[in-house]
Amino acid sequence: MDNDFSLVTAHLWRAASGHHEAMDPSSAPMVTGPRVVLPSAFDVTGLASAAVAVATQAAADLLADRQATSTRAVSVDSRHACAAFQPEAWFTPQGWTVPPIWDPLSGNYRTVDGWIRLHTNYAAHRTAVERTLDARDRDGVAAAVANQRSIDAESAVIEAGGAAAAMATRSAWLVSHAGIATATAPAFDITERPMITPARWATARPEAPFSGRRVLDLTRVLAGPTCTKFLAAYGADVLRIDPPGFEEVAALLPETTQGKRTAALDLTATSDRGVFEELVVQADVIVIGLRADALARLGYGATELKAVNPDLIIASLDAYGRVGPWRHRRGFDSLVQMSCGIAASGTAAPIPLPVQTLDDGTGWLLAAAITRILTRQLTESITATITTSLIATANLLYEVTELAGERVLALPRGRRHRGRRYIRRKRRCCGTIWPGQSQSRTPSGATRPGHPITRIRPRNLAA
């Protein structure tokens, strides 16, 4: 039973290192605050607090190695960590209005035998739903799926290029082909390789852990941007690259672009491919948040990227993992919750997690994994390819919930909500709370505010 976060923190540290490394208890981060902040049947507070602690500890260790000093103490307040898992709720726009996060057609719908969730925040996915169901509004969609089986409606939308998930119980998921393929896969698959040349930044003595490191960000909402936002907040030079004309979810732009520069590249155009390869040569890390085969189909799979830059850290994440029949399936946090049993925990109707736990947990833990490999580049001349997924984080959530035990999850309701009241007070007084952790004498914060995705020619950013 874990009443003080220590078991969960140690478990996530091992997971983010590919189970290659245990956390040294003498240098473990300190996690304080209420044991339950976000009410849930799952240990969301434990996973959020430990993920933030693990990423921050990894950054502190890297900074110590780069400065040739002892590691600075790391502390995390569970209320701050839980705020960091819902950042879109805690910023206040000045001079503009936040648009709705969810498209009107996104959401849960009753079917003849259960429930289905549709994700239509991107225009192409909405079009797929409209075309498949011959409906343009929620009432029309509800009527169209009401007499269908959940799995039939899911399959039709998926085949049309959309994003959907039928609600399944945990037991049903674990005996499905997709569930069997991912149930025992490591949360982080880390394939190490020796560096061709020593880390070119080994002699620097920076003020921040990632100062001088260049990161290419090819991710979408919300796990990937969470990872790269952490790297940017602690000094990395992050360049987000999107296809020309791509429209990110507008309400989340303050979070998905915070601390980063943005640019557009058409990787089917010869000239832009040359620019991209030039950027890859100069990068230390590339973070890819696309379906498993997306870049490979453009000629930029892991093998091709390593040929361009042999020492590059290649970090990839997707929804349903890199193995099994769903490895190429479109997916998002809310859909994975429906697929793997989280939304079906104990009730007839779907009950989501209180925050986008799978997205944020994946982002923070991927940042930790990248940071550990950066440290090993410095100390051992080792680099790596890292893969993870939202379904892997869902499996971790089940694991940490079991570690927490019933006593933690059964805390009185008043204690559960105390942390939320604290967050609201801090927001009124202090504005945005992020990243949700502290390193002794090590300030963090994005040097560039969130902004619309601009169409800068990245050729100007490669120098």
Residue 401: CA count within 13 A, CB half-sphere = 18
Q: Over the range 54-83, which residues count as b (16 or more CB within 10 Å of their CB) and which as e?
A: bbbbbbbbbbbbbeeeebbebbbbbbbbbb
Q: Which two tokens stand for residue 107?
A: 């959401």
Q: What is Dmax (Cα atoms) for the chain?
A: 66
In this structure, what DSSP letter does residue 86 have? S
Q: Which two tokens stand for residue 87?
A: 């950042």
Measured between alpha carbons, how far apart are the two ends of the chain, in Å? Answer: 52
Q: Closest Cα partner for 151 from 135, 138, 168?
A: 168
Which sign does the torsion angle of CA 265, 270, 273, 278 carry? Answer: negative
pLDDT, position 120: 97
Chain centroid to CA 249: how far?
A: 15
- Residue segments in the chain with a per-residue pLDDT below the cut of 50: 1, 412-419, 422-423, 425-437, 439-443, 454-463
pLDDT, position 202: 65
Name the amino acid, one letter, at 279: L
pLDDT, position 209: 95
Q: How far is CA 338 from CA 39, 82, 116, 123, in A?
A: 18, 22, 8, 22
Name the amino acid, one letter, at 449: P
Q: Per-residue pLDDT tens for 212-226?
A: 999 999 999 899 999
DSSP for 210-271?
Answer: TTT-EEEEE--TTHHHHHHHHHHHTT-EEEEEE-TT----GGGHHHHSTTEEEEE--TTSHH
d(CA 71, CA 61): 6
Name the amino acid, one letter, at 338: M
Classify 384 as helix, strand or coil.
strand
